[in-house]
Amino acid sequence: MMTARLPHQFLPAGRAQAFRRLRGVGLALALLCQAAAADLRVEVSESVNDAEPVAVTHWFGGDRSVRDDGGRYIITRLDLQEAYVVDRGKRSYKVIPMALEAGSPPPAVTVSPTEDYRQIGDWNARRYRLGGPATRGLTIDVWIARDIEADISQFRQLMVQLSQRKGSEWLRAYEEIDGFPVLQQVELERRGISLHTESRVTSIADVKPEQGLYQPPEDFRQLR
């Protein structure tokens, strides 16, 4: 809403100073509201055992997230302690309860920075090796970039919260890691099973999510 007002240079000295302060506060509040309205959207190329990569979109919004591969998507709602697996083709979804184990001592995860550096996409990254009981036999390398222009605080907050879930305790590493994983490589060698996954970030930005992103469509059928 526009209102007519005198330019601050024509106001008395005391009022002009107050005007400048109020204008500064107003600008700060406007920027804060703008940031609060945006979530983190991350475009990723994912592959398993060097197969053809799949384009996946991730959204991170504080206590909720979405992983969307085009055919189906998974909504995680920590505020409700539920996840929803939504199938676009079948126009249906499943509700999966999430058990967080707050208060129980989690297995430890170690974070070891290496001297490996690489240009990955638009970012300069350093490789970190994660270890300890929390990785449960997995070999996990994350390439961390610090020159990210987007706000990654919601991502880090969600990862630490998810680390309370059994099997995901290694995510607590993001309490210590300063930056964003632009490349994640996970290997599993166990009883004749050989598995290698790679997730490579192609874009990352603060974007206002569409209404209803973090809930199943109302006209989809819930599977029992």
| Nearest to 38, CA basis, from 210, 206, 215, 213 | 206
Q: Which residues, 6 or more positions from 68, have their beta carbon under 8 angstroms from its beta carbon? A: 56, 57, 58, 59, 74
Cα separation of 149 and 171, whole Å?
22
Q: Is the pLDDT assigned to residue 182 strictly greater than 90?
A: yes
Cα separation of 127 and 76, whole Å?
28
The arithmetic mean of pLDDT across residues 153-170, rounded, is 91
Per-residue model confidence (pLDDT) at position 99: 81
Instruction: Record the pTM.
Output: 0.79
Q: Which two tokens stand for residue 155?
A: 């991502």
Per-residue model confidence (pLDDT) at position 103: 57
- Choose the weakest-confidence range: 10-24, 74-88, 110-124, 131-145: 10-24
Per-residue model confidence (pLDDT) at position 148: 94
pLDDT tens, residue by residue, 96-119: 999 877 556 889 999 999 999 999
Sequence length of the chain is 224
Q: Is the pLDDT assigned to residue 11 strictly greater than 70?
A: no
First and final C-alpha spacing in the chain: 49
